[in-house]
Chains A and B, each alone.
Chain A
Amino acid sequence: AQSVTQLDSHVSVSEGTPVLLRCNYSSSYSPSLFWYVQHPNKGLQLLLKYTSAATLVKGINGFEAEFKKSETSFHLTKPSAHMSDAAEYFCVVRILGGNEKLTFGTGTRLTIIP
């Protein structure tokens, strides 16, 4: 069975400071991992994904994430937060070669302090 745990339900950072959103996963097989962002009352937008290629993945809007198999982690980072980054972020896992079902984390709400 696969699962994903987002370690913080809410993160607050000041504008211009680094962002770290933490995600740990559990999977018996090689996983695909994704980060999605959701602004209020909107659909989800893909930020980045890992699919067994490079372990450091760069995404849109300056975000990146590093796949660490030994730590079963896929934390999302950004060097400098912008006010427009305020949103809900979801870590998602999918088993490669599986039935295409995704398992979502419960989300982390990111607040940016001016």
Chain B
Amino acid sequence: DGGITQSPKYLFRKEGQNVTLSCEQNLNHDAMYWYRQDPGQGLRLIYYSQIVNDFQKGDIAEGYSVSREKKESFPLTVTSAQKNPTAFYLCASLGVTDTQYFGPGTRLTVL
């Protein structure tokens, strides 16, 4: 059935490492989004992509990178330049009914 999958569910990173979070959707949606969630702060937009091979910085893009080579996939890389990466990361896609659909999230912890 259709939806958004994120993997892994839990991820541990050592200081100085780059890690990549996966986001896949089979909803045939053009636009996809990455958000970061910290306790008490709601969701903040990291990057978004409205079409394949194009993406835009969100409000907190520093220390992150993305690619959009396929419509179904929008991976997020958390680089060593991100000083405080421990957070819950949510991927979403935008349907034709003006609604964003969210994946189950990846919890990243820096050791």
User: Taking beta carbons and an 8 Å cutoff, which residues of A are in contact with B?
Assistant: 9, 32, 34, 36, 41-46, 49, 51, 90, 94, 100-102, 104-107
Q: For B64, what are the chain A residues with a Cβ–Cβ distance below 8 Å? A: none
> Which residue on chain A has the smallest CB distance to residue B3?
A43
Q: How far is the CA of A94 from the CA of B94 in the complex (A)?
A: 12
Q: For B43, what are the chain A residues with a Cβ–Cβ distance below 8 Å? A: 44, 90, 102, 104
User: Taking beta carbons and an 8 Å cutoff, which residues of B are in contact with A?
Assistant: 4, 6, 31, 35, 40-45, 48, 50, 58, 88, 90, 92, 94, 98-105, 107
Q: For A90, what are the chain B residues with a Cβ–Cβ distance below 8 Å? A: 42-43
> Which residue on chain B has the smallest CB distance to residue A45?
B102
Assess the A42–B105 pair: CB atoms within 8 A. yes
Q: For B92, what are the chain A residues with a Cβ–Cβ distance below 8 Å? A: 44
Assess the B58–A43 pair: CB atoms within 8 A. no
Told that A94-B98, A100-B48 touch, could you supply 14 new A-B pairs with CB distance under 8 A?
A9-B40, A41-B88, A42-B105, A43-B4, A43-B90, A44-B92, A90-B43, A100-B94, A101-B45, A101-B48, A101-B58, A104-B42, A104-B44, A106-B40
> Which residue on chain A has the smallest CB distance to residue B100?
A102
Assess the B98–A102 pair: CB atoms within 8 A. no
Q: How far is the CA of A106 from the CA of B48 in the complex (A)?
A: 20
Q: How far is the CA of A51 from the CA of B98 in the complex (A)?
A: 9
Q: For A46, what are the chain B residues with a Cβ–Cβ distance below 8 Å? A: 99-101
